[in-house]
A and B are shown apart, each in its own frame.
Chain A
């Protein structure tokens, strides 16, 4: 079974600075997908970014980018120019490409933005 580990329960960053959230995962599969979801105080789950394991290029979405290290099974999220609206819980998630449909989530990292 796949597992997802987020070793930072809480992180904080000054507004406009850059922060990196860590995620590692364990799998025996070669083809899969990785996601970062954001959960603000409203508790909605919002997709931030996704990465296909077969792609070597790291995904980027505006101020959000990932550092995907397949051999190390690491998938970190970098937030540049942090804004107050980035304050939220961030969940890393894994999804198999081989037919298992579910998302497996990590325990989350609570990000605080310091004005």
Chain B
């Protein structure tokens, strides 16, 4: 069964450093997402991406964050200058068709980011 894959599974970084989290969505999917989950809290939407551009972003997704689909298979989340409060599990997700179809969003296994 096709899966969303994410790397790294766990990364420790120093405050102020740049971090890139990588994802390979399911191959025939067109919509891509990043969510995050701070330990002990609920899953929060960060950004959605379609047709090589951001289609929606939350208030969490400020100028420190960016997303890119550099080569048609990978989908990356970059945090420019990490802060302690960026420590969280980051989930990549994808879906095949648009939101009006209500199609299911499939999640990767997450990348656990620890900022020290």
Contact = CB atoms under 8 A, between A and B. Distances in A.
- Report whether chain A binds chain B: yes
Contacts of B44: 105
B107 interface: yes
A42 interface: yes
A100 B98 CA distance: 10
A44 B99 contact: no
A57 to B, nearest CB: 16
B110 A100 contact: no
Contacts of A61: none
Interface string A30-72: 0011010100001111110010100000000000000000000
Interface string A97-115: 1111111111110000000
Interface string B82-116: 00000001010100001110101111111010000
Given A44-B107, A47-B106, A107 B99 contact: no
Interface residues of B, number: 28
B99 A101 contact: yes
B58 interface: yes
Contact of A106 (B42, B48, B99): B42
Interface residues of A, number: 28
B43 interface: yes
A91 B42 contact: yes
B55 A52 contact: no
B45 A102 contact: yes
A22 interface: no
B31 A101 contact: yes
A113 B89 CA distance: 25
Given A43-B109, A97-B99, A104 B45 contact: yes
A99 B109 contact: no
Contacts of B109: 42-44
Given A45-B93, A97-B100, A102-B56, 6 more contacts: A44-B108, A50-B104, A91-B43, A95-B102, A100-B56, A103-B43
Q: Which 9 A-B pairs have the closest CB atoms?
A: A45-B107, A33-B102, A102-B45, A101-B99, A105-B43, A44-B109, A101-B48, A107-B42, A105-B42
